Amino acid sequence: MMIVLMYMLILMATMGPPVGEWSVKKLGTEGDDTFFQVKFSNQHDSKLALEKQPWLVNGGLLLLEGWPSSGLWKDTRLDKVSCWVRLRGFLLKAFTKNNVMRIGEMAGMVEELRWSSTQQILFNGYVQLRINFPIKESIFVGWFITVAGKKH
């Protein structure tokens, strides 16, 4: 319990603006997994902790999920991790929002696409997506995109 609290203190310190009151409670263990409940004093801090994922703790991922609507911790799924990804190397003809979304959806569920302007993204050389990856599946590799009747 002390180790988890220490990691939680570090996480709260790195979240940005000061976080209000919070508490941690051990709920149970199933196999190698231990489940904790982290309560925040306000909705904003809870949302911030979820948005700032993934959290790396001692070389592994700390998976966070909103409290299940059933109110039972055993109904948590903890089967996805949300990460920001940079996609690079698009052919100019293939570089559209639609194609970026299609590629992102091959990896998981696209939660957000940062697309300020095509010119800015071309200048940067990448586009950013927040993808919710299923942790029990591998990412599909080897897909072609058809542009002007040709596969690239």
Residue ranges per structural domain of the chain: 3-77, 82-134
* 63-122 residue pLDDT tens: 888 888 898 888 888 888 888 899 888 777 778 899 899 989 988 999 999 988 888 888
Residues 4-19 have pLDDT tens digits of 444 555 565 565 666 6
User: How far is CA 5 from its chain centroid?
Assistant: 22
State residue 46 phi and psi, 5-degree precision.
-60, -45
Please, what is the average pLDDT of the chain?
A: 80
Cα maximum dimension of the chain: 60
CA atoms within 13 A on the CB side of 87: 25
Question: Left (φ > 0), alpha (ψ -120 to 50) or beta: where does 71 sit?
Answer: left
d(CA 85, CA 74): 30
User: Which class for 131: exposed (0-12), middle (13-18), buried (19 or more C-beta within 10 A)?
Assistant: buried
| pTM score, whole prediction | 0.66
CA-nearest of 4, 39, 9 to 23 is: 39
